[in-house]
Amino acid sequence: MSTKDIIVIGGGPAGITLAKRLGRHFDMAVIRPEPHSMIYCAMPYAIEGLLPPEKTFKKDELVTASGAELIREHVTSINVPEKYVVLESGGILHFQRLVIATGAIPLIPQVPGARLEGVMGFKTQEDMETIINLCRNGLRNAVVVGAGAIGVELVQALRTRNIQVTLVDMLPTILGNMLDEDMTTAPTEILAREGIQLALSRRVSALEGSSRVSRVLLDNGQAIELEPDDSEHPTLVVFCVGVRPELTLLKDTGIEVGPTGILVDGRMQTNIPYVYACGDCVQFKSALTGEVISGKLATNAVPMAKVLAANLLGEDRVYPGFYNGAATKIGEVYVGSTGLTVSAASRAGFNVVTGMGKLFTRFPVMPDVRPLTVKLVADASSRRIIGGQILSGAPVTTQVDLLTLAIQKKCVLEDIRDLSYSAQPYQSFFPANNAMVMAAEQALKALRTQSELSENNEREQTPPLTVGQPDRS
Ligand SMILES: Cc1cc2nc3c(=O)[nH]c(=O)nc-3n(C[C@H](O)[C@H](O)[C@H](O)COP(=O)(O)OP(=O)(O)OC[C@H]3O[C@@H](n4cnc5c(N)ncnc54)[C@H](O)[C@@H]3O)c2cc1C
């Protein structure tokens, strides 16, 4: 049997990126079992009915157009020393270099009843189709656990389909990894207005039902009734509480793993010189703090794969780590964040200063003007930007990316204060101001006030020199 130059296990964003960049340079294969790679991010909107489910399927040509081979198979084991993978069908494929891009799978906490019918995670085509079928087959009540971006997108989709839905999270606020509490008021009110029940600061303690789930018990003793046991209506509890890296294949391979994934260096190399890994299956660090953090996003998986592809083509590039720029949408409000929230920054040991800019998405004299709020998080000692959050009536990803660039390039508050911005009636506030600039100005003002206060305090604590005081020197 021939030996492939490169075998990639996994056909998600990381695997596809590698195929696109390396397919015409190497004899390579991408192996993945599912019939279609998925546009996961669009799945909530297919459930909502905004697009047909098939629109979430990626085309195989994304892999094959470059000349890479696509093998629709499940890899059951890896023989690292002899450099081959074993396929479920029994075949064996030899490689010179192996890339593991097996992604991550949803976490389902092992509470009592977690295996009841109707309890699921949300990741695959099958998951999406199951939820759509349940909606078609009379689903009336559902619980979504986890108020991160995926959870809030899913509850809104279910609500649009007229399903009574409760969103449960152990944190006191929604989008706890993206937004500080003061930024969550408007989005939380929107969810409540849409008729979504919120059970915040609550954990699921058990799921009950005879064969399928019919009741969700929370740690405060509250029970969320889905359907009576004998009801003909289906029930649904979806856990969107995070993912764990898919490491099944790594057992006994000698490839080192950590608690959140495969250990790689900045060149995406594992401890085995000819084995690499990238995407959700790896453990990596924050580019800001150097600490291991979660960064299970397609917008991290793709850049990691690009760095690896460049290195396999002879460059020497290093992946800097996660900034975790991300966005979602709640009702008519676009939500974005990047870097560290105040609580994450405080946990990381930063002394934080923040500034808020509140303006509008258009010249206020124009039609369809919406509020825009930008919050900047900076390190008070260095004035370096370390995070930002945005709520807007218009898409925010460009502003999020600008703030990420500011973080990447180690900009300080003065750099944002001095930003040379553009303005146009449909697309921004008046030339008179810019929300990001306003937030930086406010943070700088807060710093000045703080330093004046501490100077005053020092002055007050130092006894004034009195004329005629005896010289003790
Ligand atoms: C509903 C939803 C919405 C999301 N929205 C966003 C968003 O808006 N923005 C964003 O940046 N990210 C989003 N994400 C996260 C994003 O989808 C993941 O970070 C991304 O898919 C990771 O890419 P990956 O290639 O590392 O892994 P995956 O996409 O998980 O792909 C892993 C691949 O490995 C294959 N595989 C695993 N084991 C084997 C095996 N033994 N043999 C063969 N193949 C195997 C799998 O079948 C799959 O093809 C969302 C995720 C979900 C579920």
One-character DSSP codes across 389-427? EEEESS--HHHHHHHHHHHHTT-BHHHHHT------TTT
Relative to beta strand 236-239, strand 119-120 is: parallel
DSSP, collapsed to helix, strand or coil, labels residue 385 as: strand
Question: In this structure, which amino acid lies at residue 166?
Answer: T
Pocket test for ligand 1, best of 20, 71, 178, 246 (most atoms within 8 A of CB): 246
Nearest CA residue ID for atom 39, ligand 1: 102
Q: How far is the CA of 124 from the centre of ligand 1 (A)?
A: 9
Compute the distance between CA of residue 238 and CA of residue 109 in angstroms, rounded to an integer. Answer: 11
Element (H, E) at 442: helix 435-461
Q: How far is the CA of 295 from the centre of ligand 1 (A)?
A: 12
pLDDT of the residue at 155: 98
Q: How far is the CA of 103 from the centre of ligand 1 (A)?
A: 5
- Nearest to 107, CA basis, from 344, 280, 235, 278: 280
Which atom of ligand 1 is found nearest the CA of 37?
49
pTM, full prediction: 0.94
- Nearest to 99, CA basis, from 215, 270, 245: 270
Q: Which residues pair with 371 in a beta bridge?
A: 360
Residue 310: CB atoms within 10 A of its CB come to 16
What would you measure as the largest C-alpha separation in the chain, in angstroms?
100
Nearest CA residue ID for atom 3, ligand 1: 41
Nearest CA residue ID for atom 53, ligand 1: 123
- The one-character DSSP state at 222 is -
Handedness of CA 36, 39, 41, 43 (dihedral sign): negative
Element (H, E) at 149: helix 149-160
Question: In this structure, which amino acid lies at residue 389?
Answer: Q
pLDDT of the residue at 325: 98
Q: How far is the CA of 243 from the centre of ligand 1 (A)?
A: 10
Which atom of ligand 1 is found nearest the CA of 16?
25
- The one-character DSSP state at 250 is G
> Tokens at residue 161, please?
């389909």
Residues in the chain: 473
pLDDT of the residue at 420: 98
Q: How far is the CA of 293 from the centre of ligand 1 (A)?
A: 18
> Tokens at residue 403, please?
């703030």
pLDDT of the residue at 468: 39
Pocket test for ligand 1, best of 32, 87, 299 (most atoms within 8 A of CB): 32
Which atom of ligand 1 is found nearest the CA of 76?
41
Which atom of ligand 1 is found nearest the CA of 32?
44
Which atom of ligand 1 is found nearest the CA of 278?
26
What would the DSSP string read from start to end of 90-147? S-EEEEEEEEE---EEE-----TTTTSBTEE---SHHHHHHHHHHHHTT--EEEEE--
Give the Å distances, CA to CA, from 243 to 9, 42, 136, 260. Answer: 19, 18, 27, 9
CB-based contacts of 64, cutoff 8 Å, min separation 6: 19, 23, 70
Burial class (CB in 10 A: 0-12, 13-18, 19+), 133: exposed
pLDDT of the residue at 462: 59
Question: Tokens 């930008």 — which residue?
Answer: 374
> Tokens at residue 81, please?
């020393």
Question: Tokens 């660090």 — which residue?
Answer: 285
- Nearest to 199, CA basis, from 180, 224, 177, 182: 224
Ligand 1 pocket list (CB less than 6 A): 9-15, 31-34, 40-41, 43, 74-75, 101-104, 122-123, 150, 246, 249, 279-280, 296-299, 301
Q: How far is the CA of 37 from the centre of ligand 1 (A)?
A: 9
Q: How far is the CA of 280 from the centre of ligand 1 (A)?
A: 7
Q: How far is the CA of 73 from the centre of ligand 1 (A)?
A: 16
Q: How far is the CA of 40 from the centre of ligand 1 (A)?
A: 7
- First-last CA distance in the chain: 92
Compute the distance between CA of residue 315 and CA of residue 3 in angstroms, rounded to an integer. Answer: 24
Angle between helices 185-193 and 149-160 (to 10 degrees): 30
pLDDT of the residue at 453: 73
Pocket test for ligand 1, best of 8, 39, 40 (most atoms within 8 A of CB): 40
Mean pLDDT per 10-residue section of the chain, whose length is 473 residues: 92 98 98 97 98 98 97 98 96 97 97 97 98 97 98 98 98 97 97 98 97 96 95 97 97 96 98 98 97 97 98 98 98 98 96 98 98 98 98 98 98 98 98 98 94 73 48 34
pLDDT of the residue at 466: 43
> Tokens at residue 248, please?
């099944």
Element (H, E) at 308: helix 298-312
Give the phi and the psi of residue 140 in degrees, each rounded to 5. -120, -30
Compute the distance between CA of residue 274 and CA of residue 32 in angstroms, rounded to an integer. Answer: 20
Handedness of CA 165, 171, 176, 177 (dihedral sign): negative
